[in-house]
Structure 1
């Protein structure tokens, strides 16, 4: 891609030259430091490898397979040849940027990875092998096998000196021997026994063999393991004891019988994570401790029954109790997993250690899904701290297996180094140094919280009082913020101080209650504050448009805050609210029926927001009412009627009404019917129709389409003309003014036509009645005859030229009116 860019854009070529001269451009090309010990793995095996680098040349060995490597470095890449008892080939390793691991390939593409270790190869690979007795030989073999089970097959290669392969010929390669050693280990791993119980009753001096009978937990299947003395080594004169490796066919038959209890297959390397036996639980507990220290606590916590600890503090308290238990096991001596029963069908609890201060016991515990899981019992976890205190001065049994301490034990050890009396209990099981730490916490957190809230008040300009609230900003924001800060620091301190449960749990509950109340109070008022800010920043012309959304969001947020605070409080107090929530599924129907109208109104409010038929400030007609929308809430709509009263309509009812939003009109309809006396002649009627149409076309406030005036028919007392037109306004006041102007002009037209308006009455023709004006009638009829002879009658419509000439030619407002401005020409 870079090459293509430099070809298309020559400027990139110059940029590439500049970048190549920068310091970071050459860093990747510098060779990495391969010197050291690497713990490597490949498919189905692994080996500890020691490399030595000299310039660009690297040589190394992996003694477990009598292997050697040599290669050349090119940047971060190491390529070369390997050879061992299985053969030889080429390899390529690429070091990671942090130089702590590498990825590699060998052979036909098999992977080969490694990670750097700080230990020397002798410590990592060989350890301490003791074959001075049968039980110590077996102990060394089991330790190597337990490590090899993690994929480091060369761990078994180093114990060849502990095994007697006399049943096989000399053609065995190291890989063959490792396969046989692994097969033997898989057999022994299925058995349960105490190594110290293998010690013979008598003296074995001069004995040619020593056989022990081992059994499988649960099935009691026997297996005999034979030991033979070997030739003295290192001039000590002592005879090392070796385990006799039986023929392969015999071992496979024995393994097949032992695997019947495990569905006929060797368990997966991570099968013990299912905690199906005491051995699985102990093994997982010890393996996962380091992961738990790094924050991955889930599997570690599963090994312990923490049901007696409040759910809100279960993780932190469980981790602390697990740390106490680990410290106790370090002092007892970490057990071999083969010494712990692994019968998946076992029912009775397994007791690992007994002390007056407590017992370490693993038992099956029922889970929520109906299954059982082996866990350290609740009683064991409750006594873990007392066990540690009772055994604290006991030296570690296996110093080389001791892991790095957590902050709690580091602080405690520092306090111990200052003065032993700081570890004395000073009431409620709390040690002196812990009381001092709690006091320092208060001394520091209180002024710190005051300073912090002062800074917040300055940044956000929180005033002492607010006209919109009866409570001051201190009460609404600053005080709860102080409590949250103090409680938060206290919670962090409790996770480090390791207080006894009798004090730790009440303090955690108190802190949790404080956080629940203060946090809920603060969040509740923050919702109001955010709502006010959104309202203040809304545009004036759209101020009320989304008020319903703000109202809904504010109410829902407040409800969520209250429910969240209550649930958190229930969690802290270990109230089984889950059952109550589940019960709502059954009682929800009854609640829904009881609150049906409320829910309908809530849904109606959401519908009003989504559909937006009206908004606050709109003038609308709904049902038999007219009015302006003043508010839309969760339950109802408030309307200011024409008589200035407030009508409250439930949302559910309002959305089902025929709502006419008058504010959203772009014009208003003018429609009326005018009746004329029956004495009106047809030509007079034609003249009236023409003049009215001219009026509508000429008026600037009337839309030309579909403005019309039509002879509508014969009424009981009149001949009727229907007028239909749209006025160019959405304002009622303007509309009434335009309508008034048109009606007045209509009176002038009717008067000029010589006829008069009809009215529903009986007419008695008296001498004083002028009747129809004959002179004007004749004049109008003459006009219509002229139009007819000239083929200019405007029926059914005016021609296009006339329509164009007449359009908007009237003076509006009319001449002499207040709004005319002294002139009345609409075209001017």
Structure 2
């Protein structure tokens, strides 16, 4: 009996010793694990210490707080700031890859002047970095002081309160997401649907109704409506990017969503300004239509293309910088150097470009003007940034570089206020002086009666005795804008001159050689007999012509 009791007591003693030894070993392992979890000997270990102690299955924010340098902020709520720092990383979409973090106690950053610092993301988190203090690597005191400001910047307009409210819905996991995250996604999608419906209602109904009431219904539907729709999409994307970060989605997903949102915002802004250019162009088209100049009608499309190209270039730079976090300074530097090389290689193109600018500034001609410059003789059809298109009178098209036109002498017939018409009317030598005088007087009345002739200056005189005719100078001007109208006015004047000559009995001379023979009694002379006529009869015939053809009374 005693032996059995001794065996039981010995067994209990052995179990107690084993239990005590196991407890001792467990405490040592816990201490080793504790030392590992607060290892701050390198940037790698500090990062691992911080994020490992904030995981869901290993949540020890007090240990994670040891990775922060609290110098000057000893009285702050260290646990709260530690959690906020993690929320900043998640809200900014900064994916920390521990495999890329240096595991060197004496690591120095060459980009920071050789200091012992480590930046996680210089673009998204320029104020958050690790710094070596003594033998430990910690989040710098500057970074700790910036936590509150960066947290408000990451979660603006009171959205930070949702970080505390949403998790109260439930922490059960479904499909890798917490219940509160799934509910939050549903609420966010409903919110986006409501906002889209509201923006669509305000734009389609409100804006178009207002524009129609103001008398700009067509302009509102054609130009303002596309701008308003893209603007509504931009605001939806803006609100979506603002609230979706509160859901604290897995960083593998959220880091890509951040990139998508950061690209979408400058892209949509670029599209908005691209469409605004159409609105501005429509306004200038209306202004150009009110002017007599045709060159500004040609300038508006060129201005629209230039502004659109400028918007696309600037928008692309913003997408590269803000959306993709690319440093565009080297790109711009290379572009400037390349621009010099391109400028040297494309001197003629640049010369033509500036020549076009001078044409638009000086306005030596307009679309529709008839110009003469060297071998160029025709009507201007289009003025581009590189060349000017001229339709010749052979109906061919000539393309002249604007650089040459800017340096050449241009005779612009289209800018004439008056178009000159000069001809010589030849009448036969047997015309009596009285008839010649009345004929010249009738020519002057024809000019005065025509609606498109210059009345204050014209010259119609009997001014020469040529070898076969009496010459009357007919020198007048037409006040018409185009050549076809000038031709029409010439036609009208010449018809009236022929009618006047027929009425008065004036014959037009032409180059001839006449063999003059004495007349025979049985033959009638070809020359008209003016012996019975008098100055009074000529004046009477002129009066009849003026009353009949010109509507005047002598």
Q: TM tier, shorter chain?
A: 0.5 to 0.7
2:199 maps to which of 435, 448, 452: 452
Q: Residues 750, 409 of structure 1: CA spacing in aligned structure 2 closer, same or farther, 3 A cutoff?
A: closer
- The answer to whether 1:736 aligns with 2:490 is yes
Q: Does the 8 Å contact 1:706/1:725 carry over to 2?
A: yes
Match for residue 555 of structure 1 among 305, 309, 321: 305
- Give, in whole Å, the separation in 1 of the partners of 2:500 and 2:190: 92
Return the alpha-carbon distance in structure 2 between the equivalents of residues 826 and 541 of structure 1: 41
Q: Cα offset for 1:570? A: 1.4
What's the offset of the Cα at 1:560? 1.8
Distance change (3 Å), C-alpha of 1:667 and 1:576: same
Q: 1:707 aligns with which of 436, 439, 458?
A: 458
Contact 1:551 1:634 in 2 (8 A): no
> In the alignment, is residue 441 of structure 1 matched against residue 193 of structure 2?
no
2:288·2:296 contact (CA, 8 Å) conserved in 1? no
What does 1:284-683 align with in structure 2 at a 5 Å threshold? 328=65, 333-335=70-72, 366=111, 372=113, 377-379=118-120, 406=152, 407=158, 410-414=161-165, 418=168, 437=184, 440-461=187-208, 480-481=230-231, 483-493=233-243, 504-528=254-278, 530-532=280-282, 535=285, 539=289, 546-571=296-321, 572-592=323-343, 599-616=350-367, 618=368, 620-622=370-372, 631-635=382-386, 637=388, 647=397, 649-650=399-400, 652=402, 656=408, 658-662=410-414, 665-675=416-426
CA distance in 1, matches of 2:164, 2:320: 37
Contact 1:358 1:383 in 2 (8 A): no
Unaligned runs of 5+ in 2: 1-60, 75-97, 132-146, 153-157, 210-217
Q: Which has the higher contact order (CA 8 A, sep 6+)?
A: 2
Cα distance between partner residues in 2 of 1:815 and 1:542: 38
Q: Tell me how far apart the structure 1 counterparts of residues 510 and 472 of structure 2 sit (CA, whole Å).
A: 14
Hey, what's the Cα distance between the residues in 2 that align with 1:776 and 1:727?
39
Residue pair 2:426, 2:509 contacting (<8 A) in 1 also: yes
How many residues are paired up?
414
Deviation at 1:510, TM superposition (A): 0.9
- Mapped contact 2:170–2:178 kept (Cα < 8 A): no
Distance 1:336 1:478 in 2: 49
Q: 1:328 to 1:358 in 2, by over 3 A?
A: farther
Deviation string, structure 1 residues 249-280 (Cα, Å, up to 9, x no partner) = xxxxxxxxxxxxxxxxxxxxxxxxxxxxxxxx
The alignment's C-alpha RMSD in Å is 5.6
2:126, 2:486 → 1: CA distance? Answer: 81
Give distance in 2, aligned partners of 1:721 and 1:410: 101
> Aligned pair in 2 of structure 1 residues 458, 536: CA closer, same or farther (>3 Å)?
farther
1:760 aligned to 2:480? Answer: no
C-alpha separation between the residues in 1 aligned to 2:464 and 2:501? 20
3-state SS in 1 of match to 2:449: coil
Cα deviations by residue, 1:433-465 (Å, 9 ceiling, x for unpaired): 667645543332243124313421223449xxx
Shift of 1:378: 0.6
Structure 1 residues 708, 567: CA separation in 2 closer, same or farther (over 3 Å shift)?
Answer: same
Counterparts in 2 of 1:713 and 1:494: CA distance versus 1, 3 Å: same
The change in CA–CA distance for 1:608 and 1:777 in structure 2 (over 3 A counts) is: farther
Q: Which protein is richer in helix relative to its size?
A: 2
C-alpha distance in 2, partners of 1:751/1:383?
Answer: 105
Alignment deviations for residues 151-172 of structure 1 (CA, whole Å, 9 cap, x no partner): xxxxxxxxxxxxxxxxxxxxxx
Cα 1:481/1:335, change in 2 over 3 Å: closer
Contact 2:391 2:397 in 1 (8 A): yes
Q: How does 1:61-460 map to 2 (within 5 A)?
A: 328=65, 333-335=70-72, 366=111, 372=113, 377-379=118-120, 406=152, 407=158, 410-414=161-165, 418=168, 437=184, 440-460=187-207
Shift of 1:650: 4.4
Are residues 558 and 765 of structure 1, via their aligned partners in 2, closer, same or farther at CA, if it must alter by over 3 Å? same
CA distance in 2, matches of 1:541, 1:333: 72
Instruction: Report SS of the residue matched to 1:441.
Output: helix
* CA shift for structure 1 position 673: 2.0
Please give the per-residue CA displacement for 1:135-193, whole angstroms capped at 9, x wherever unaligned.
xxxxxxxxxxxxxxxxxxxxxxxxxxxxxxxxxxxxxxxxxxxxxxxxxxxxxxxxxxx
Q: CA deviation at 1:512?
A: 2.2
In structure 1, stretches of 5+ residues that fail to align are: 1-323, 338-355, 388-401, 463-467, 784-808
Question: CA 1:409 to 1:728, structure 2 compared with 1: closer, same or farther past 3 Å?
Answer: closer
Displacement, 1:488?
Answer: 1.1
Question: Alpha-carbon deviation of 1:670?
Answer: 2.6
Separation (CA, whole Å) in 2 of partners of 1:484 and 1:441: 16
Query: Cα 1:439–1:622, aligned 2, differ >3 Å: closer, same or farther?
Result: farther
TM-score, normalised relative to structure 1: 0.40
Q: 1:554, CA displacement in angstroms?
A: 1.1
Change (3 A) 1:538 1:758: closer
Q: Quick one: distance in 1 between partners of 2:328 and 2:508?
A: 82
Distance 1:767 1:680, change over 3 A: closer
Instruction: Kindly indicate whether the alpha-carbon contact (under 8 Å) linking 1:547 and 1:632 is maintained by their aligned counterparts in 2.
Output: no
After superposition, give the CA deviation of every residue in 1:784-825 in whole Å (9 maximum; x if it has no partner).
xxxxxxxxxxxxxxxxxxxxxxxxx9899x5445xx6xxx22
Give the secondary-structure state (helix, strand or coil) at the position aligned to 1:377. strand
Q: TM-score under structure 2 normalisation?
A: 0.55
